[in-house]
Chain A
Amino acid sequence: MTTQRLHPRVRIVWILRAILVAVVLSAPVGGAAYLEFLPLWAPIAVGGVLLTLGTGHAIARYRRWRYEIREDALYLDRGVITQVRTTVPLVRIQHVDSRRGPVERTAGLASCVVYTAGSRGADVRIPGLTPAGASDLREELKRLAIRAEGEDAV
């Protein structure tokens, strides 16, 4: 399997999330402006900056995200500020979920969560898959995990 990227629509999900964060964080500033502690442009500026940062982060994140199923491991490369590359040996996979949150459903996307017994990387989430892609990936990983186990048992 070659290196896979996420579905481009995942950017919409992440940008929506960034908008939500920007709104929540600039709400107190807005309140202060409403009560005339701060000038009126303050909430707009704060919201704008947060939105720009959030959107930039979402786009950079999409550009960066890659995953690949190699011969004996699942390999993930992600993270904008801290780059994280995780190697999950297929033998270590405990179970695999595919799931769809409410926002993901509106964007017509799904994600796949891989669980290992490790504690830090115990669950690895691959977002931005099509629903069919997520189930396929789940089945594929399950098959490979069983095969890896079987190979070793012989």
Chain B
Amino acid sequence: MKLAPQSIPYRALQKVSGVVLVIVFVVNDSARFGTLPAVGLAAAVLAVAVTYEIAYYRRFEYELTADTLDIRSGVISRREREIPYRRIQNVDVSRSILQRAIGVAAVDLETAGGSETEGAIRFVTPEAATSLQREVQRLKRDTASADGVETAASTAPDEELLFEISPRELALVGALSFDGRLIGLLVFVGSGSVPVVSGLLPDASAVALSGVVVAGIGGLVVVSWVIGAAVSFSNYYGFRLSRAGDELRYERGLFRRYSGSIPVEKVQTLTVTDNPAKRALGYATLTIETAGYAPGQGGEGGNQAAIPIARRDRVYDLAREVESFGEPAFARPPRRVRWRYGIRYLIVVSVLTGVAFGVDRFSGVDAPWYAAALLLLAVPPAAHLQWRHRGYWLGEDHLLTRNGFWSRSVKAVPYYRIQNVIDRRSLFQRRWNVASVVADTAGTSSLVGDDAAAVDVGTDDAIALRDALTARLQASLHDRRSRETGFEWVDAETVSPDPPTAVDGDSDVDGDADDDADGDADDGAVRERE
């Protein structure tokens, strides 16, 4: 199958529009040349780009074979790529405003291997994109079943709507998505104006200066809040999540439309996050994570939220729909760690007070530096809250961990997704006789150190937890294997006349279809010839 013909001019312009603009402005403005050479040069560049894109269009071909998606591409160096369906993790479609106007869509196919997108199809018509998405899902299911030509599985499963964002929730997402990092950015950008402001206030009294500072900080908070609200509003506009067979499908976006599919089989971790505002209103966010990649991470805030916001009980219901982890009863760390947190906060407050004192002493600004010491009052409650919001729970099939008292996240990791178990004890943790146990998965957020972790568990509990996690991983693997094999045997007897081959096929399939979807990074998720 070919790309959409509209993609030729679009791709060409996308590549060289910057260069063309520069040429027009620079050459046109220079005295030696003039408008004519500028236009000529720009036209030449455009012509080269269009020619290249025509060649690219003619050379680009994708094909859905019985068990692989083949992509042949490349003008100068040719590349043939075969992606087995069962290795495909997500299929995402995105369309920016301009792409919607000319009727094209970008399709991205992800496997667990590699950090980049393995199959990028730029661009096809929206209809072709959707049918590709559906077709890949169907073929994946077929190859996953023992022999791949079963007729019953070929019919598309019904799509069941799980969640659709209501205007009220959308407004809440906007209002509650306050991103502290934006303040930092704005301060950085705005720091250039500080000399200007201080120039305007030559004989500023301390009070006036503090007033300006307070007003400035207030303004920053408001501006960053508005920006954050606008960004998440446009990100989650028209969000809907549905389930079709063994796949979750989502759609979202105001300006740039995203749609994608998340295979339930490949889910690594579920994360439910909230912050004090969301907790007070009874709302929470659900994030679903698959291996090596986060859906919609294409720059738009790196979000992979499955449910941007919903009532807490609804979020938990939806999470249980994906991974039935039951009703968690978290075990908190030992009470003594509250002292550890208290001391930690005490150090932070003393440093802050010290800095304030230093500024007061050496800059000549007569600010009430001792005000920073008032934060001392907040230390005991903060330490207590941090302790209160930590915990872990060993469910029947899942490890649940809970961390963070401001932005709190509850993570559910199925035992059979665990890759490593790491038990860490820093110098300070050893003093308090506690340890942290991290369950490492192949999920993405663990790349940024956001693994499911039982933090500051008593040492004995940590050892027990570590052993329990490895034991339960083995048990669950064993469990799944025997269940799969049992299932395959029944299947083989009813469908295939030749059971031994079916079993052979199974031992080959199982490595991936069940548990280490995560793990296939290296065993040739993508076959490639160049």
Looking at chain A, what size class is its interface with the partner chain? Answer: 20 to 34
Per a CB cutoff under 8 Å, which of B440, B443, B466, B485 touches A121?
B440
Contact: A89 with B474, CB < 8 Å? Answer: yes
Contact: A119 with B421, CB < 8 Å? Answer: no
Nearest CB on B from A127, distance (A)? 18
CA–CA, A152 to B473, complex, Å?
12
Contact: B425 with A83, CB < 8 Å? Answer: yes
Which single residue of chain B is at the shortest CB-CB distance from A86? B422
- Cβ–Cβ < 8 Å partners of B419 in chain A: 89, 92, 116-119, 121
Nearest CB on A from B395, distance (A)? 19
Contacts A81-B426, A82-B426, A118-B446 given; does A88 touch B481 at CB 8 Å: no
- Cβ–Cβ < 8 Å partners of A147 in chain B: none
Per a CB cutoff under 8 Å, which of A82, A95, A149 touches B424?
A82
**Residue B265 at the A interface, CB < 8 A?**
no
- Cβ–Cβ < 8 Å partners of B520 in chain A: 117
**Residue A135 at the B interface, CB < 8 A?**
no
**Residue B180 at the A interface, CB < 8 A?**
no
CA–CA, A108 to B39, complex, Å?
67
**Residue B441 at the A interface, CB < 8 A?**
yes
Contacts A91-B477, A117-B442, A152-B481 given; does A85 touch B521 at CB 8 Å: no
Contacts A85-B466, A87-B421 given; does A118 touch B485 at CB 8 Å: no
**Residue B166 at the A interface, CB < 8 A?**
no
Interface flags, B432-467, vs A, CB<8A=1, else 0: 000000101111101101010000000000000010
Which single residue of chain B is at the shortest CB-CB distance from A77? B423
- Report A134-153 residues with CB < 8 Å from chain B CB: 149, 152-153
- Cβ–Cβ < 8 Å partners of B518 in chain A: 117
**Residue B108 at the A interface, CB < 8 A?**
no
CA–CA, A105 to B22, complex, Å?
54
**Residue A84 at the B interface, CB < 8 A?**
yes
**Residue A52 at the B interface, CB < 8 A?**
no
Nearest CB on B from A90, distance (A)? 10
- Cβ–Cβ < 8 Å partners of A121 in chain B: 419-420, 422, 440
Nearest CB on A from B212, distance (A)? 40
Contact: A116 with B420, CB < 8 Å? Answer: yes
Contact: A85 with B474, CB < 8 Å? Answer: no
Q: Which of A83, A118, A153 has the most CB of B within 10 A?
A: A118
- Cβ–Cβ < 8 Å partners of A82 in chain B: 424-427
- Cβ–Cβ < 8 Å partners of A118 in chain B: 419-420, 440-442, 446
**Residue A154 at the B interface, CB < 8 A?**
yes
Contact: B443 with A117, CB < 8 Å? Answer: no
Per a CB cutoff under 8 Å, which of B427, B449, B522 touches A95?
B522
- Count of chain B residues near A, Cβ 8 A: 43
Nearest CB on B from A141, distance (A)? 14
- Cβ–Cβ < 8 Å partners of A84 in chain B: 422-425
Q: Which of A83, A120, A121, A153 has the most CB of B within 10 A?
A: A120
Contact: A117 with B477, CB < 8 Å? Answer: no
Nearest CB on B from A76, distance (A)? 9
Contact: A94 with B421, CB < 8 Å? Answer: no
Per a CB cutoff under 8 Å, which of A73, A89, A115, A154 touches B485?
A154
Which single residue of chain B is at the shortest CB-CB distance from A153? B507
**Residue B148 at the A interface, CB < 8 A?**
no
Nearest CB on A from B65, distance (A)? 26
Contact: B427 with A81, CB < 8 Å? Answer: yes
- Cβ–Cβ < 8 Å partners of A115 in chain B: 522
Contact: A92 with B516, CB < 8 Å? Answer: yes
- Report A34-75 residues with CB < 8 Å from chain B CB: 72-73
Interface flags, B505-517, vs A, CB<8A=1, else 0: 0110011000010
**Residue B112 at the A interface, CB < 8 A?**
yes
- Cβ–Cβ < 8 Å partners of B442 in chain A: 117-119
Contact: B519 with A94, CB < 8 Å? Answer: yes
Per a CB cutoff under 8 Å, which of A86, A95, A117 touches B516?
A117
**Residue B336 at the A interface, CB < 8 A?**
no
Contacts A72-B474, A85-B466, A92-B519 given; does A120 touch B424 at CB 8 Å: no
Contact: A120 with B438, CB < 8 Å? Answer: yes
Contact: B451 with A120, CB < 8 Å? Answer: yes
Q: Which of A73, A79, A119 has the most CB of B within 10 A?
A: A119
CA–CA, A152 to B478, complex, Å?
6
Contact: A117 with B422, CB < 8 Å? Answer: no
**Residue B470 at the A interface, CB < 8 A?**
yes
Per a CB cutoff under 8 Å, which of B420, B425, B426 touches A92?
B420
CA–CA, A91 to B446, complex, Å?
20
**Residue B291 at the A interface, CB < 8 A?**
yes
**Residue B78 at the A interface, CB < 8 A?**
no
Nearest CB on A from B521, distance (A)? 5
Interface flags, A88-112, vs B, CB<8A=1, else 0: 1101101100000000000000000
Contact: B440 with A85, CB < 8 Å? Answer: no
**Residue B279 at the A interface, CB < 8 A?**
no
Which single residue of chain A is at the shortest CB-CB distance from B416? A91
Which single residue of chain A is at the shortest CB-CB distance from B511? A149
- Report B389-425 residues with CB < 8 Å from chain A CB: 418-425
Which single residue of chain B is at the shortest CB-CB distance from A118? B419
Nearest CB on A from B233, distance (A)? 31
Contacts A92-B519, A153-B510 given; does A119 touch B440 at CB 8 Å: yes
Contact: A117 with B466, CB < 8 Å? Answer: no
- Cβ–Cβ < 8 Å partners of B430 in chain A: 83
Nearest CB on A from B436, distance (A)? 10
Contact: B422 with A89, CB < 8 Å? Answer: no
Per a CB cutoff under 8 Å, which of A73, A120, A152 touches B477?
A152
Which single residue of chain A is at the shortest CB-CB distance from B480? A152
Q: B residues near A, CB below 8 A? A: 112, 291, 418-427, 430, 438, 440-444, 446-447, 449, 451, 466, 469-470, 473-474, 477-478, 481, 485, 506-507, 510-511, 516, 518-523
Query: Which 7 pairs across A and B sit closest by C-beta, in order of nearness?
Result: A118-B419, A121-B420, A118-B440, A117-B519, A85-B423, A119-B446, A117-B442
Q: A residues near B, CB below 8 A? A: 72-73, 79, 81-89, 91-92, 94-95, 115-121, 124, 149, 152-154
| A-B contacts besides A87-B421, A117-B521, A152-B481, 7 pairs, CB < 8 Å | A86-B420, A88-B420, A89-B419, A92-B516, A120-B449, A153-B481, A154-B485
